[in-house]
Amino acid sequence: MFLRLIMTHQQDYVYLLKTMKLSTSMSSLLINQPKYVWLKELGLSEDNPGVYNGSWGGSGEVITSYCPANNEPIARVTQATLAEYEETVQKTKEAWKLWADIPAPKRGEIVRQIGDALRKKIKVLGSLVSLEMGKIYVEGVGEVQEYVDVCDYAVGLSRMIGGPILPSERPGHALIEQWNPVGLVGIITAFNFPVAVYGWNNAIALTCGNVCLWKGAPTTPLTSVAVTKIVAEVLEQNNLPGAICSMTCGGADIGTAMAKDERLLELGGNNAIIVTLYGPLHTKQAVEQYLAAIEQAKQQGGTVVCGGKVMDRPGNYVEPTIITGLPHDASIVHTETFVPILYVLKFKTEEEAFAWNNEVKQGLSSSIFTKDLGRVFRWLGPKGSDCGIVNVNIPTSGAEIGGAFGGEKHTGGGRESGSDSWKQYMRRSTCTINYSKDLPLAQGIKFE
């Protein structure tokens, strides 16, 4: 009897320790602190399902999202397994059968409601972007605003999609360019724009009659969950399948599956910017990359004239850094590091500067500052910048939704947003209709 009592007390003690450990773990999450109670306005909790295909789930790896400003845990998300990814693809494809039959203007109405729902949550969602990604609050709100703006654009587009009726060379014939949705669009987004890149793909793809499967970055899963909850609520209020806008949180396994999945039109997004007003770097690994880049620059002949240090404070803060003295073809100059380092290069001629701009593998955005009108148009011309975005007297970051966004060379070649971006999400058929009583061939060919 005595031995049994000791064992019982020991078990109770172990249980007590486990309870205390769990309680401590939960209380250490930012979402449970009074300062961050607003996170629950987005439907977030300590543990969040990372799969949505009409219903919420997920049984894969549990990951913790950390705030880069102080490296404290925010909340947890359960990622998708490969089996759950496959199940989600099937449910999303099934949802397309209904969505594709809805007239484009009616689809535009749903997108309008998504934009309105985002407007109502713009401040709190922008705050989440800032908290989880690390960019300053106004930029976080700006991301959500970009999604809202693209929704507005897509609503108008919903009544304008279509191809021309072309003149046929044959009498009694009509030539029509017909555009139809591609079906299921897979969207993989990077950590640095966890809302906007999904938004501009999602809004236009939906209007065109496609359904979407989204995998956000594994370091910003809470933003993915929160955005999906907003979109899902709109779909549910309209008695539409939630799988129209599905989501699978995950790492490289899910990303690889999507990239290799021939059932999806994969539209990845990535962007790098250098600014002097900024938040912390996104992860501890980014801080290590920052220090490694500075060391490589020094080894290759560069001189740090400003910055170059990690700030002595909580979080992933580093000093903006300027490095001079490097040759234009130094390997570090050609490397995209996603950290606030500016390499200053001296050139002698305009042609030399243009050539150095074009010799790197990346080709997203570029800018020149000049009052020389001739130089402006040479910069925009065939021997000027070979980037997808070519600016004059403005920075390289901050693109308007009215213009096509995207790069060249290793930065892709596709375009998102802009006047004809909808064509990426649709397939084109050239249709010839013979309403005459004859069967003439094109090019005047006759079989005799």
* pLDDT one-digit tens code per residue, 277-294: 678 999 999 999 999 999
**Sheet containing 303-306: which strands, arranged edge to edge?**
303-306, 321-324, 341-344
- Give the residue ranges of DSSP H helices in 158-251: 196-207, 221-237
Domain layout of the chain by residue ranges: 30-272+424-428, 279-346
Averaged pLDDT for residues 400-417:
81
Q: What percent of the chain has pLDDT over 70?
A: 91
Averaged pLDDT for residues 257-270:
72
Closest by CA position to 406, among listed 426, 427, 392, 420: 420
Q: How far apart, in whole angstroms, are the C-alpha atoms of residue 295 and residue 339? A: 14
**Which residue in the list 46, 266, 319, 350 is annotated as catalytic?**
266
Q: Residues 9-48: pLDDT tens digits?
A: 334 444 443 444 444 355 599 999 999 999 999 999 999 9
The H or E element spanning position 248 is: strand 245-248
Which tokens belong to 89? 């693809």
**Between 148 and 179, whose confidence is greater?**
148
Confidence of residue 206 (pLDDT cuts 50, 70, 90): very high
Q: How far apart, in whole angstroms, are the C-alpha atoms of residue 405 and residue 401? A: 8
Q: Residues 50-74: pLDDT tens digits?
A: 999 999 999 999 999 999 999 999 9
Asked if 266 is an active-site residue, the reply is: yes
The residue behind tokens 């295909």 is 53
What's the pTM value of the predicted model, to 2 decimals? 0.79
Q: Which CATH architecture has domain 30-272+424-428?
A: 3-Layer(aba) Sandwich (3.40)
How close are the terminal C-alpha atoms of the chain, in Å? 110
Q: How far apart, in whole angstroms, are the C-alpha atoms of residue 335 and residue 397? A: 18
**What is the average pLDDT value for the chain, to the nearest integer?**
88
Q: What percent of the chain has pLDDT over 90?
A: 68
Q: How far apart, in whole angstroms, are the C-alpha atoms of residue 393 and residue 148? A: 27
Q: Look at residue 304 in the predicted model and tell me its pLDDT.
A: 96
